[in-house]
Chains A and B, each alone.
Chain A
Amino acid sequence: MLYERMSTLFAVLSLCAATATGIIVILAIVQRLTHASVTTRFFAELQPVSLWIAWFVAAVTMSGSLYYSLVQHLHPCPLCWFQRVCVYPFAVVLLIAAIKKDTKIWRYVMPMAIIGVVVAAYHTQLQAFPDQNGFCNLVDPCNNREVWKFGFVSLPFMDLTALLFIITLTLAATVERAEPEEVDG
């Protein structure tokens, strides 16, 4: 039953990531519209740690997918492999960027992250509505729900939430530059 427990844990983490992404995006919109002091302080506090959190999210995502393939011996389908291509490098790149405090890393992260989001979104809907012609259902069925928690959390859904959270945090790391501008204004 370890499999089920770990899956529940990953599903809860995924929902936490989705919630945090939603909160940050809403606060960013509020900040853009009103320049409230609360949100300004929030983004100033978030900025120095956001790349570290993004790296942590990428590392957990990679560990999770390696747990399913190496420990539980699930066979990744082709779509899963493409999602791995789009998320594993971040576990290295974001660590180096966090150490270097390289806030411009979003330029390199964004293309892969967006491709990953597109693949993950397609795969999420494929597992949500499995009665369709899948991308790879000839050999390894991509619409096979290896994990299905709370009625909607699948493995590609976890990848999707992780990638959206990584994108949000990588962009939040760039906030610093805008700050002196506001002080001037």
Chain B
Amino acid sequence: MWIDRLSSAFAVLALVALVAVVALGIVALVRWRQSDGAAIDIFERIQPVALWLAWLVASAMTFGSLYYALGAEYFHFPRKYFPNTLGWYQCICVVPLSIVLLIAAVRKDAKIWQYTIVPVVVGGVFAAYNSQLQALTSQPADGKFSDPAAQRIVWKFGFVSLPLMAMIGFVLLGLLLFTAQTAAEDEQDHDEHDEQDEVVVDAV
């Protein structure tokens, strides 16, 4: 029952992430409309740690997907939890982020969104398609990868499936990368100094 318990834990984490998505979305919208207030304070608190939070989200998603791929029941057959094709494409979009975002967070490189936006969007699209496949089960079988992807392998609280967790994660990643990028815009002068420093270091 370890798998079931961990699935519940992942589902709870996904709901926490969903709350974070809504909260961060509201704060970002308020910041767009107003120039000061409580929302701005919260946003400015998040800005410096946004890349670390994004790395944390990507790592949790990577751990979750690798747990189902390798840890859960690797030597059992048939392997119910082993990722299907659509699941693997979502893995491809998120696993590299757990390394890339760590390097970006250490280097304070907010421009990393230019590279990570593509896997985040592609992964989000795959996850959205896969989520609706599992949510609306009355769709006709197409004899291709959609059929195994439509199986509700994890189904918590009446609506949380594995691709839904992935989709919430990708949306949160996108929002956090956006937050980090606005921090870079605010501190552009600072960034330019950093770049100059780097050139000097490289030349030495």
By a beta-carbon cutoff of 8 Å, the part of chain A in contact with chain B is: 69, 76, 78, 81, 84-86, 88-89, 92-93, 96-97, 100, 105, 107-108, 111-112, 138-139, 177, 180-181
Contact between chains at A85 and B91 (CB < 8 Å): yes
Number of A-B pairs, beta carbon distance below 8 Å: 53
Contact between chains at B77 and A177 (CB < 8 Å): no
Which of B20-28, B46-54, B94-102 has 4 or more CB atoms under 8 Å from chain A?
Answer: B94-102
Chain B residues near A78 (CB, 8 Å)?
A: 69
**A89-B93, A111-B103 known, 11 other contacts, Cβ within 8 Å:** A78-B69, A81-B69, A84-B92, A96-B114, A96-B118, A97-B115, A105-B115, A108-B104, A108-B115, A112-B99, A112-B100
Q: Which of A69, A86, A96, A181 is in CB contact (< 8 Å) with B115?
A: A96
By a beta-carbon cutoff of 8 Å, the part of chain B in contact with chain A is: 69, 75, 77-79, 82-83, 85, 88, 91-93, 95-96, 99-100, 103-104, 107, 112, 114-115, 118-119, 202-203
Instruction: Give the CA-CA distance A78 to B82 in the complex, in Å.
Output: 10
Contact between chains at A108 and B103 (CB < 8 Å): yes
Contact between chains at A111 and B99 (CB < 8 Å): yes
Contact between chains at B114 and A181 (CB < 8 Å): no
Give, as a whole number of angstroms, the nearest-CB distance from A70 to chain B.
9
Chain A residues near B79 (CB, 8 Å)?
A: 139
